[in-house]
Chains A and B, each alone.
Chain A
Amino acid sequence: QVQLVESGGGVVPPGRSLRLSCEASGFVFSSCGMHWVRQAPGKGLEWVAVIWYDGNTGSYADSVKGRFTISRDNSKNTVYLQMNSLRAEDTAVYYCARDPDDYGDSFYDYWGQGTLVTVSS
């Protein structure tokens, strides 16, 4: 069965960095686009970033552009989110989500359980 398991969340002071990981299993990882979606406490869902099946192209929400980088290692079935220059407003649960389209241009049919990132001094 499809599984997505995020890790790497925690408490970090403003301005610091954190790298999230999402390990996938149960499907052909290298055939799917992958996304990161976040949810601030008590708020709605916010799309963060997408990466193509081959890792060659990524795209970002304006709120994280220039600070976050999405990448993937298809040999490890893992997608990453490198988060730099973190701000208090980046505090959220971060979910990875599978997109059945190889260019990440479709809906999200499977989600991980999420990992909490808290940016606080």
Chain B
Amino acid sequence: EIVMTQSPDTLSVSPGERATLSCRASQSIGTYLAWYQQKPGQAPRLLISGASSRATGVPARFSGSGSGTDFTLTISSLQFEDFAVYYCQHYNNWPPRPFGQGTKVEVK
């Protein structure tokens, strides 16, 4: 079973700064990786699929990269609405469908 591990657990960033979130798979998953954003009291929202393809309506300040086992979500200039929890998930692999434990991006 593939395990997804995100780091750090919490990232403290000032508005306007760059945020870099990491996700590591326990074995190679190609580019079958999605990123989701979740704000308090809300459902998750798809940001990135295929490791680097932004979903419809996602601002260009969000970018994804990586392949194999190491992936990165970068928010180039944090806006107040970006403070949230971010999850990575491996797909294209018959269940289970593992999520990472999440990275909370908080105001520094």
Co-assembled chains A and B: yes
Interface residues of A in 1-60 (CB under 8 A from B): 35, 37, 44-47, 50, 59-60
Most buried by B among A35, A95, A106, A113: A106
Residues of chain B whose beta carbon lies under 8 Å from any beta carbon of chain A:
34, 36, 38, 42-46, 49, 55, 87, 89, 91-102
Are A107 and B49 CB-contacts (below 8 A) given A60-B95, A61-B95? yes
The answer to whether B43 touches A107 (Cβ under 8 A) is no
Q: How far is the CA of A61 from the CA of B94 in the complex (A)?
A: 11
**Listed residue (B34, B43, B45, B89) with the most chain A CB atoms within 10 angstroms of its CB:** B43
Docked-complex contact A47 and B99, CB < 8 angstroms: yes
Our count of residue pairs bridging A and B at CB distance below 8 angstroms stands at 58
Which one of B34, B43, B93, B96 contacts A113 once the chains associate, using CB atoms below 8 Å? B43
Cβ contact of A59, chosen from B43, B44, B87, B95, cutoff 8 A? B95
Chain A residues with CB under 8 Å of B94's CB are 59, 105
Query: Residue of A at shortest CB range from B99?
Result: A45
Contact B44–A35 (Cβ < 8 Å)? no
User: In the docked arrangement, what's the CA distance between A35 and B101, Å?
Assistant: 19
Q: B49 → chain A, closest Cβ, in Å?
A: 5
The answer for the CA separation of A45 and B98 in the assembled complex, in Å, is 9
- Between A and B, 8 residue pairs with Cβ closer than 8 Å are A45-B89, A45-B99, A62-B96, A95-B44, A107-B34, A107-B49, A107-B89, A109-B55
